[in-house]
Structure 1
Amino acid sequence: MYLAHNIQVVAYDCDFNNPQLWRHYNSCVPGGVRTIKFNQWGFSEILKKDLSTLNPVVALMDLPSGVGEYFQDFVQDTKLASLGYRITMASVLGRSKDSIIQLKRLIETCGNQVDYVVVKNLYWGEEEAFIKYNESKTRQSALELGAIELKFMRIVDWVYEAIDAHDLTFTAAVTHETSNPTTKARLSTWIPQQESELIKVGNFLGFESAKPRDRNNFRKT
């Protein structure tokens, strides 16, 4: 979304065990995707320097799971630096209760100091897959803090595997030489559907004025 709408972004992949942001987007993001451990000494100083010198619209960080215990100091450091940025945490839910527990810990750590986006990954099913979350006190707490919920539309396994095998972005896979016509057609439908969902949280993620692309325009981009 940021690249498609020319929104200036700096990106950091902080998950050394699963560096998917770096793998798929390093060659696309101006300046590349930086790889750095979130909890290493000096990370907040590096980020604050980048924000003050580069002045991006968005700083995007792909974090490993379970970093909530380190996050409170980071939030305070960023706030005290008075850089004019507000932190949004996007928590992706799966079918198991572990993702709910991680969201609960994050809320307990950060409270109202950050904004929350809760993502229901529909790979695991529709609403019936998220009954535990829907009925939980954690959801109630998140909504009371102004959290916005959205859905990550399901992609069939073989389409995602084709993207993953060649380290492609979703958009690049639409025109890539290794993608077959069925893959291209499915993604041409899926991308604007997902973008329409993401726009619901545009004020939190930094693309308020963005619009989903028309599926017929992919061949032109």
Structure 2
Amino acid sequence: MTFHIEENDQNMSSTLPEISTSNTEPNKPLSNDTAQKVPINTKPKNLANTDNNGNNNNKNNPEQLRRLVMVTGDKGGVGKSTFARGLAQTYINNAVKFVGLDADNSNPHLIRFYEKHANIQRLDISNSDKLDEFVDNLKELVYPKPKESGENQESQSLILLETPSQFMPTLKILITEMGFLGVVNDKCKMRVTIVVVISTIIDCINQLLELYSFCGDNVDYVIVKNLFYGEAEQFTFYDNSQEIKKIQQQLKAKDRSFTSITMPKLAKKSYDYLDVKNLTFKQGLEQDEYPSVFGRIFSWLNNFQGQIKPIKDLFGIDKILTE
């Protein structure tokens, strides 16, 4: 597996209407015996100097914004693909160069909607050999070897990875067998943000707690409340969880981020229109067939970017341009 590197289509940012930024709100797991033999909590080195809100304090660090952003959500249909698409569109709108890796082979939304508009690659992580290949190619993206002609290839500093459903056992294997998070940080000099999209059900919280049990303070966390499943105040299992509050305090003490945002609900007609026609969010703005679709998508992107802006560094964004 080799990731093909090509230039992003940055022209998409030039015609987007002005967007305000008001903040509206299987791998089989290893057995316990095996896991105990492997150092799980490999502490990353060379961490970018960021505060607890994800803001960079050391602006002279050339690696300050290098990020691997992993969009997860182990419950199928929770909305992680929609969030990944919204983030990809935000990168494009703000002229942020990135490489997208779509590992959701059963429902590859990044490939389907954005392959022609950005550097999006299909990723196979179905077995141990493919997992190793992924890690090696990740380093090759960050530190590419010169071409046979001697010409240098461009280094990539931002990777957006959309993971498949039920990815947690695979991630646990990566961490327990090779200390994945430490390897990414030490060998790629890349900080990791894990985005966890949740609904209002208790299973999402249980899975989040399980994720933290083996990722610990080695990553920054962004929890996304998908408002398709209810209003923000209806996420009571998350808001009232004492375990979550304890984790937030632990990470604050370690200068790690654990923050929550919301993802707005997109009206069914507009969502289905994009889905049937395989349109990006920007193409939904450009169509003239349905003014209602334009209005809904414009408002959705406004809201989405408003959520991203206060923690933009956690997503590898230096500056929001569409203000």
Q: Common fold, TM-score beyond 0.5?
A: yes
Structure 1 portions without partners, runs of 5+: 214-221
The 8 Å contact of residues 220 and 258 in structure 2, kept in 1 or not, is answered as yes
> TM-score normalized by structure 2?
0.61
Give the 3 Å change call, closer, same or farther, for CA 71–156 of structure 1 in structure 2: farther
Residue 150 of structure 1 contacts residue 200 of structure 1 at CA under 8 Å; is this kept in 2?
A: no
Note if contact 2:142-2:157 (Cα within 8 Å) is conserved in structure 1: no
Partner residue, 1:2: 91
Q: Determine which structure has greater relative contact order: mean sequence separation of CA pairs < 8 Å that are 6+ residues apart, divided by chain length.
A: 2
Question: Are residue 21 (structure 1) and residue 110 (structure 2) matched?
Answer: yes
Aligned to 2:141: 50
Distance of 2:245 and 2:174 partners within structure 1: 22
The sequence identity of aligned pairs, in percent, is: 24
**Could you say what secondary structure the match of 2:92 adopts?**
coil
**What is the CA–CA distance in structure 2 between the aligned matches of 1:64 and 1:187, rounded to whole Å?**
25
CA distance in 1 between counterparts of 2:165 and 2:183 reads 21
Instruction: Quote how far apart the aligned CAs of 1:212 are.
Output: 4.3
Q: Is the 2:193–2:219 contact (alpha carbons within 8 Å) kept by the matching residues of 1?
A: yes
Answer 1 or 2: which has greater helix percent: 1
- TM norm structure 1: 0.87
Aligned to 2:162: 62
Which has the greater radius of gyration?
2
1:119 matched to 2:224? The reply is yes
SS of the counterpart of 2:191?
A: coil
Residue 6 of structure 2 is matched in structure 1 by: none
Rate the CA distance shift 1:149–1:107 in 2: closer, same or farther, 3 A: same
Displacement after TM superposition at 1:87 (Å): 0.3
User: 1:6 offset after TM fit, Å?
Assistant: 1.1
Aligned to 2:180: 74
Paired residues, number: 209
Conserved 8 A contact 2:101-2:120: yes
Instruction: Quote how far apart the aligned CAs of 1:133 are.
Output: 1.1
Contact map agreement 1:15 1:63 (CA 8 A) in 2: yes
Stretches of 4+ moved more than 4 A in 1? Answer: none
Aligned counterparts of 2:303 and 2:322: Cα–Cα separation in 1: 8
